[in-house]
Each structure stands twice: as structure tokens, then as C-alpha cells.
Amino acid sequence: MKMSPRPTIGATLAVVAALGLAACTSGDDVAAEGPESIDSIGLMVQDMSNPFFSAMEKGAKEAAEEIGATVNTQDARLDLANQNTQIDAFIQQGVDLIVISAVDQDGIEPAIERAKQAGVIVIAVDTPAKGADAVIMTDAVEAGEKSCEYLFEQMGGEGKILIVDGTPIQTIIDRITGCENVMEDYPGIEVVGHQSSMNDRASGLAVTTDMLTATPDVQGIFGMNDPSALGAVLAVEQAGLSDQVIVTGVDGSPEGVEELEREGSPFVGTATQNPAEMVRQAVQVAEDIVNGEPPAETTILIPSELVTRDNVSEYPGW
């Protein structure tokens, strides 16, 4: 009987390689095990020009120092593509924990899944991110309620207002929802303008200027964060309406505190957030996960408080 020729070593390796490739692309990949400890943290923020995210970095450094970890902070500049690239870089670097304030909570999901497949713990902060192990955020509905309740009270329960909205992420949507909730109890309040900023002072100034030009007869403005609210303050002052219009925001930022302390400012109140505490809690949750104690609730809300001219001296700030 004629024997078939034995396969060459090269042919055998080719078959093995082909089988390996097939296995890698079959969709049956097994996720890597999670980290045994949190030694490296990748912090991903939306826009470092906003002091809110600088405070997050401060909290990350404090939490990392406490557990002996390193921190690498990346600024997305409000660009989802940047955050996708940054997550892939963190995977390559082998970080143990990614803490992310997502630009787009739905769009970032595939990148988060890649990180989790690589064994990285992912905790969202400030706003949800699909696929994350948990989210730590301000009770944003409560923040919107407290800011607008105070605004309406200071207006005497009636008058026309403008709303300076922001980018469509959940935490901002929730603040607007909170404001609208309170509005149901104030039938004398009328919204005569509602435009979205890019969450910063410059765009807050621009959209408020446009709205005031179209409808100057307003008595109040709700800015969904402090930078946009402070842009609105500048627009009010440039329009010569400081004696007519009052403004509230959300954040409890250092700039907001300074504005509350400035005599004659139209800015009268801000509902607090605690960005540093969000990150500190995110690191603690990741530590618990490593220790086999995942959180019972995957959404953890931090209460919001109201800071006004009357109590700003007692507010500890960020």
C-alpha cells in the first residue's frame, strides 16, 4: 500500500495558525480575568477646560495615592472618537481600572466591552455609560429641582425664564427634567427660550445673548451647569439687564462660588455636585469588586445641596 506523504512542518504550522485565527474570530472569546488589585487607573474626562473635570482628576490622584496606584488622565475634548481611542490605549497599557465620564453613553459601549473583555474594571462617573460595571453620579434630577425651585422662589413664583441647556448626556437631561418637575408647581413661570450650549462659558454667553435679543423681557435664567450659567450672567450684564434678571446653575464650582460672592452679580444660586467624591467612590467600588464584593446597586447617587449668597460662606467647595 502506498503511504501518503507526511505533512511538512510548515504545512502543520499553517493549519495551526488557521485554526487559531478561526478561534479568535468565532465570537466565542473568553474574557480575561479581572485584576487582583487596582495598581493603575485610567481616568477619562469629557473636557479638561471645565474645572469640574479638573476636580475629578484631583479626586483620582487622592484615591490612587491612598491605595498606591498610578493615574493617567485623558481629555476627550467632547469627542467620542477620542474616547474610543483612549480606551484602546488603556487596554494596551494594561490598566486595572478605567473611570470614565462618557461623552456619549451609548456610543462608548463597544469600547467599554473591549475593555471588560480584556479584564479591565470600568466605572462610569457623572453620567451613565452602557456596559460599565457601575455608575457614580450626582442625583441630577434633584440638582435641577433645587436650582429651579430657588430660582422660581426668588422670582416670586411668576415670570418668564430662559433655559440654557447642554450636550445631550443623561446627567444634563436629568437636570432639565428636575427643573421641569418643579415648574409643574409654578404655573406662573413661562419658558420663553430654550437653547443648548456646549457646556462652557463661551457658548453659554452666545446662546443666552441670542435668546435675550429675541426675548429681552425675562426675569430668570436656569443654566444646566455653572460654566453655561456664568456665560448667561455675562450676557445679562452686557445687555444691561442685571437689575431685571437672576440666574442659577448646577455644580457648586469654585467659579460659581466666586460669582455668588461678587457684589451685584445676577448669579444667585447653584446646586452642588462633588466630582472628586465621584471618583473616590468609583475607586472604592472597584476595590470592592476586586475583593469579591460588587455593589448591590450599580447606580450610586450622591445628593445635591443648594448654595446661595446666604450660605456660601459655609460651603466647603470642591
Question: What are the tens digits of pLDDT across the range 294-311?
Answer: 999 999 999 999 999 999
Residue 258: pLDDT band with limits 50, 70, 90 = very high
**Each residue's pLDDT tens digit, 67-116:** 999 999 999 999 999 999 999 999 999 999 999 999 999 999 999 999 99
Please name the helix (run of DSSP H) or strand (run of DSSP E) that holds residue 278, with its range, or none.
Answer: helix 275-290
Largest interatomic CA distance in the chain: 107
Name the CATH architecture for the domain at 140-274+308-314: 3-Layer(aba) Sandwich (3.40)
Task: Take residue 46 and report the three cell numbers written for it.
Answer: 469629557
Compute the average pLDDT of residues 191-216.
97
Residue 287: pLDDT band with limits 50, 70, 90 = very high
Residue 30: pLDDT band with limits 50, 70, 90 = low
Sign of CA dihedral 178, 313, 317, 161: positive
The amino acid at 31: A
Distance of alpha carbon 108 from alpha carbon 293, whole angstroms: 26
Q: Are residues 198 and 172 in contact, defined by beta-carbon separation less than 8 angstroms? A: no
Q: Look at residue 12 and tell me whether its pLDDT is greater than 80.
A: no
**Each residue's pLDDT tens digit, 33-55:** 899 999 999 999 999 998 899 99
Q: Look at residue 10 and tell me whether its pLDDT is greater than 70.
A: no
Q: Give yes or no on whether 40-136+275-300 and 140-274+308-314 have one common fold.
A: yes
**Each residue's pLDDT tens digit, 124-156:** 999 999 999 999 999 999 999 999 999 999 999
pLDDT at 20: 40
Residue 32: pLDDT band with limits 50, 70, 90 = confident
pLDDT at 156: 98
Sign of CA dihedral 229, 231, 237, 239: negative
Segment among 22-31, 158-167, 283-292 with least mean pLDDT: 22-31
121, β-bridge pairs: 97
pLDDT at 2: 37
Tell me the pLDDT of the chain averaged across its residues: 92
Compute the average pLDDT of residues 168-187.
97
Secondary structure of 201-229 in HEC code, one letter for each residue: HHHHHHHHHHHHHHCCCCCEEEECCHHHH
3-state class percentages of the chain: helix first, strand second, coil last, to nearest 5: 45, 20, 35
pLDDT at 29: 54
Single pTM value for the model: 0.82
Q: Look at residue 61 and tell me whether its pLDDT is greater than 50.
A: yes
Q: Which residues have a Cβ under 8 Å from the Cβ of 232 and sit 6 or more positions away?
A: 162, 164, 204, 205, 208, 221, 223, 247
Compute the average pLDDT of residues 17-44.
68
Distance of alpha carbon 26 from alpha carbon 13, whole angstroms: 20
For the chain, what percent of residues have pLDDT higher than 70? 91
Distance of alpha carbon 128 from alpha carbon 106, whole angstroms: 9
Distances in Å between the alpha carbon of 178 and those of 21, 110, 175, 185, 187?
A: 51, 30, 5, 12, 16
For the chain, what percent of residues have pLDDT higher than 90? 89
- Phi then psi dihedrals of residue 44, to 5 deg: -120, 115
Domain positions in the chain: 40-136+275-300, 140-274+308-314
pLDDT at 129: 97
Name the CATH architecture for the domain at 40-136+275-300: 3-Layer(aba) Sandwich (3.40)
Q: Look at residue 24 and tell me whether its pLDDT is greater than 50.
A: no
